[in-house]
Amino acid sequence: MTKKTAKKSETLTEEEYLRLRREKERHDRLYHQEDNPEISDAEYDDRRRRIKDYEDKHGVKGSSSLALASKAKGASRAKNSHTVKGRAPLPRKGKRVGAAPLKGFRKVRHSEPMYSLSNVFSPEELEEFVARLQKFLRLDEVPALSAEPKVDGLSITLRYEDGALSQAATRGDGKVGEDVTANAKHISEIPQTLKGGNIPKVLEVRGEVYMTRADFARLNAAQEAAGDKIFANPRNAAAGSLRQLDDSITAKRPLRFFAFGWGDHSRPLADTFTVARKRLKKLGFKTLTDVLLSNSTQELREYHKRLEDARADTDYDMDGIVYKVDRLEWWKRLGAVAGEPRWATAHKFAAEIAESEILDIGIQVGRLGTLTPVAHLKPVNVGGVVVSRATLHNPSEVAAKDIRVGDRVRLQRAGDVIPQVLEVVSEKRKAGSKPWKFPSFCPCEIKSAVRIQDNGKRAECSGGRDCAEQGRARIIHFASRKALDIDGLGEKSIEELWERGLIRTPADLFTLEERDGKDAPPLAEWDGWGELSARNLFNAINAKKSPPLERVIYGLGMPMIGEVAAYDLALRWSSLSALRGVAEAAGRSELSDEWHALLAVEGFAEKVARALCGWFADADNLLLVAALEGLLSPVAPKAGAGILSGKTVVFTGTLERMSRDEAKSRAKALGAKVGSAVSSQTDLVVAGPGAGKKAREAAERGIETIDEEAWLALLGDG
């Protein structure tokens, strides 16, 4: 972060700071314990940086005055800073260490903390890092720095006593990790005994367990063939494979290891990091070879750019470059500050743009009957995730970009959004290719006609409730992460339950267990399931019987009711029955108090209110609501901040369906702050046609960027 962007912490309130801390704890758990991150590295880093800025300003350390003051207010506060604990360099950048060890593994206390790394994002920030080194060490010249790729895997520490591997442990929370010794012994690139002479009596070697892209592709193919879990990316696959309570599973996984440093040691390996790296190789470890030693920041920048440009062709995922002061005696002088060593930093890569081939163009049917063209791609790694599909939005988008089957296209993935095709690589178009035509009929069983509306910006199935594709999509939406978030109930499972006739509405999910084995063979007897899988699914569904009311409302998939509108409705009416009563009364008369109450909801235009009333006027929808009321006990939100509270939104480009002033007003009404420029604290960028510098900056920082259509959907105006 440059000095120009480091001041936003002055506007961060205590409530926002505490919210960010809670969010960070959750994402730490998802990343380190469950190997299932929900946000991108850039999004995590932004949250962590905002926390640190606030703590630096307010002096939050240990049993801080802020914590004591908060306790006096009656609030439940953690007393320790989330950025000052000792931690080691992570494959997930920043200080993502704070997750306790998984239950089931023996806990191991690290003899030396596994520190975290600070980050730089630009050549200017690299210059600042070097200048700080010179100032601290009182040097006139730039100290020699070692540069090497930052491998995206799972960090572990290996303890050798008298040359033999005695223990392997994951990072855990930076101080206490998980004992994975039995698992680590199955990795061929982790030596059981050290080679050569002059071996230290005690040596802890630290490095990264990872999986190559080729091995990852083969593993996922095998997993899919067996009906097992498909991993999102090589890092998740490596972490999940190493942290198996049954080490025989680990033995079957293609795991590898790079050594990048050390912890406790009875005798120094060398005087410089470069020589120490060579010593690790002689001891039997695999180390990175494409490295650089230089005291020229220009050479360091050129090295960074070269590896960034080549990362798509590298057989392992890397997300940046690590710079370390080469002279080891200076490490002790430099020490650490706020849990980060002064002698090292990570220089991150910008958001990745990849190129792939369109193998086919299919149609995805949404819960409201909207038909979306989807590009089926030759699998490619984009931003750390292997993707094989990309949305093409609508018929007019395909026509405007002239996207065809067989085309080479450039695509980009920011955060956890579905990859989008940026453009066709026209010079690589195959001879004889033909323009793609939108189908005239829905792919559903009844082959309903397709209606094209809004000059090609919307296509929909005319089949209504007779379209099974819509029925499945409604249940998928209800169980999705932003709705009820039912763990383990993905599209594949819902498809199977639907094909067996066990579910037709979201309410059917909550009677699955009591009906198990009555209308079909028991779930545990289905191919690819088993007793444990069936029990886990039933438990996951039962765990959602007291969900947040706003998630239920959003999950019902009412037209024009997005996350924001669902939250506002839940805040105003505290139950489904109360909301139903208001909608029914408002639908009978637009002169009623209930109609005006709906219009009083922030952002509710007449068309939104009419859509809501129309949904509740449908007999099938009323039956669904009545069924859910008998099965669930939704919890209404307490009065307070809106769904965008604490987030900073930046608008860029031209908005076609609302003015910039209206967009800003809507964002502010929902608790968001509207920024004029993209910075490290920007949470969301809404980009319309003509978006330029701000959109590029957002992509470089990995900040979530959406178009106007997605913005309207978020507001419930789509």
State the residue range of the domain holding 581: 549-631
Helix (H) or strand (E) holding 66, with range, is helix 65-72
Residues 67-81 as b or e (16 or more Cβ within 10 Å = b): beebeeeeeebeebb
In a domain, 360, yes or no: yes
Task: Copy the structure tokens of residue 522.
Answer: 């028991």
Res 96: pLDDT: 39
In a domain, 690, yes or no: yes
449 bridge partner residues: 441
Strands 648-652 and 673-675, sheet pairing: parallel
Predicted confidence at residue 718, as pLDDT, reads 53
Question: What pLDDT, on a 0 to 100 scale, did the predictor assign at position 600?
Answer: 80
Given a contact cutoff of 8 angstroms between Cβ atoms, the answer to whether 173 and 108 are in contact is no
499 C-beta neighbours (distance < 10 Å), count: 11
Dmax (CA) for the chain in angstroms is 91
Q: Is 142 helix (H, G, I), strand (E, B) or coil?
A: coil
| Residues 377 and 283 both lie in one domain | no
Amino acid identity for residue 697 in this structure: E
Q: What residues contact residue 641 under an 8 Å CB cut-off, 6+ apart?
A: 15, 671
Residue 334 in contact with residue 342, Cβ under 8 Å?
yes
Give the alpha-carbon dihedral of 134, 140, 142, 144, to 10 degrees: -100
pLDDT (0 to 100) of residue 313: 79
CATH number (domain holding residue 578): 1.10.150.20
Would you state the structure tokens that stand for residue 149, as one six-digit string?
């790729």
Do 709 and 655 meet the contact criterion of CB atoms below 8 Å apart? Answer: no
How many CA atoms are closer than 13 Å to the CA of 196, on its beta-carbon side?
A: 13
- At 175, is the secondary structure helix, strand, or coil? coil
DSSP state of 510: G
Residue 526: its pLDDT value, please?
93
Residue with tokens 């050290």: 194
Residues 295 and 380 in one domain: no
**Does residue 393 belong to any structural domain of this protein?**
yes
Judgement on whether residues 314 and 166 belong to the same structural domain of the protein: yes
CATH number at residue 691: 3.40.50.10190
Is 580 inside a domain boundary?
yes
Secondary structure tally for the chain: helices H, strands E: 25, 24
Coil, strand or helix at 612: helix
Spatial separation of the C-alpha atoms in residues 14 and 11, rounded to whole Å? 10
Is residue 159 one of the residues assigned to a domain?
Answer: yes
> Is there a single domain that holds both residue 122 and residue 223?
yes
Last residue of a domain, one of 461, 482, 501: 461
In terms of domains, do 480 and 573 share one?
no
**Pair (180, 310) in one structural domain:** yes
Helix (H, G, I), strand (E, B), or coil: what is residue 44? helix
pLDDT attached to residue 643: 64
Residues 47 and 5: beta-carbon distance below 8 Å: no
| CATH code of 43's domain | 1.10.287.610
Cβ atoms of residues 358 and 365 within 8 Å: no
Please check whether residues 624 and 665 belong to one and the same domain.
no
Do 166 and 260 lie in a common domain?
Answer: yes
How is residue 478 written in tokens? 């209800």
Residue 50's H or E segment, with its range, is: helix 41-58
Tokens of 327: 């002279």
- Where b means 16+ CB within 10 Å and e means fewer, 133-169 reads beeeeeeeebbbbbbbbbbbbbbbbbbbeebebebbb
Same domain for 228 and 177?
yes
- Residue 623 to residues 479, 617, 692, Cα–Cα distance (Å): 19, 11, 49
- For the chain of 718 residues, list the mean pLDDT of each consecutive stretch of 10: 38 73 68 56 68 72 35 34 33 40 72 85 91 90 95 93 94 83 94 92 95 90 78 85 87 94 92 95 94 95 92 85 95 78 89 84 86 90 76 88 93 62 90 90 79 82 82 92 87 91 94 91 91 93 93 92 83 92 94 90 83 94 95 81 72 79 70 76 84 83 85 72
> Is residue 185 assigned to a domain?
yes
Taking the CA of residue 370 as centre, how many other CA atoms within 13 Å lie in the half-sphere pointing to its CB?
A: 19
Residue 310: give its domain's CATH number: 3.30.470.30
Domain's final residue, options 523, 542, 561: 542
311 within a domain of the structure (yes/no): yes
Query: CA nearest 150: which of 91, 96, 69?
Result: 91
Place of tokens 């696959």: 237
The angle at the Cα of 183, spanning 182 to 185, to the nearest 5 degrees, equals 70
CB 307, CB 151: distance < 8 Å: no
Residues 158 and 201 in one domain: yes
**How many Å apart are CA 616 and CA 551, to the nearest integer?**
17
The identity of residue 89, as a single letter, is: P
181 and 243 assigned to the same domain: yes
Q: What angle do CA 417, 23, 15 make, to 5 degrees?
A: 125
> What does residue 262 show for φ and ψ, rounded to 5 degrees?
-155, 165
Total-model pTM: 0.46
pLDDT, position 274: 95
Are 181 and 311 in a shared domain? yes
Paired tokens of 31: 């990343």
- The domain tally of the chain equals 6
Give the catalytic positions in this structure.
Answer: 150
Contacts of 139 (CB under 8 A, 6+ apart): 133
Domain termination residue (choose one: 499, 527, 542): 542
Q: How far apart are CA 455 and CA 472, in angstroms?
A: 28
